């Protein structure tokens, strides 16, 4: 069984810049609409099983929520949808912002589900 390995904001930022990972925001749509990490795709936890996943096989995936608590509470459920390496952003969006990394407004939104 795949587990979610912690990844810190700086490491994630570098991996996103190089295109090495898919970042999946599991917060609900209205949370994502308020702010999100540039390049993240939206896949609300409440729709995880109902939506069609468009995750590339054997591509590293990083899941995140606001603080990391939701992601950690559902790590087995999330990891079950990933064939490659799976990570969790330590501290979630709040840690990302605390590290001084940018967030995007709603118009840049992409969805990973129907």
Active site residues: 65
* Interacting residues of 51 by C-beta distance below 8 A, sequence separation 6+: 43, 112, 113, 114
Q: Are 26 and 82 in contact (CB under 8 A)?
A: no
């Amino acid at each position: 069984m795949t587990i979610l390995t912690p990844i810190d904001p700086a490491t994630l930022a570098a991996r996103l810049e190089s295109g090495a990972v898919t970042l999946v925001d599991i917060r609900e749509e209205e949370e994502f609409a308020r702010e999100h990490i540039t390049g993240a795709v939206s896949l609300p936890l409440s729709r995880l099983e109902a939506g069609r996943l468009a995750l590339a096989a054997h591509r590293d995936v990083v899941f995140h929520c606001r603080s990391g608590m939701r992601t950690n509470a559902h790590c087995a459920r999330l990891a079950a949808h990933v064939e490659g390496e799976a990570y969790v952003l330590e501290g979630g969006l709040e840690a990302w912002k605390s590290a001084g990394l940018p967030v995007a407004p709603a118009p840049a939104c992409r969805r990973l589900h129907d």
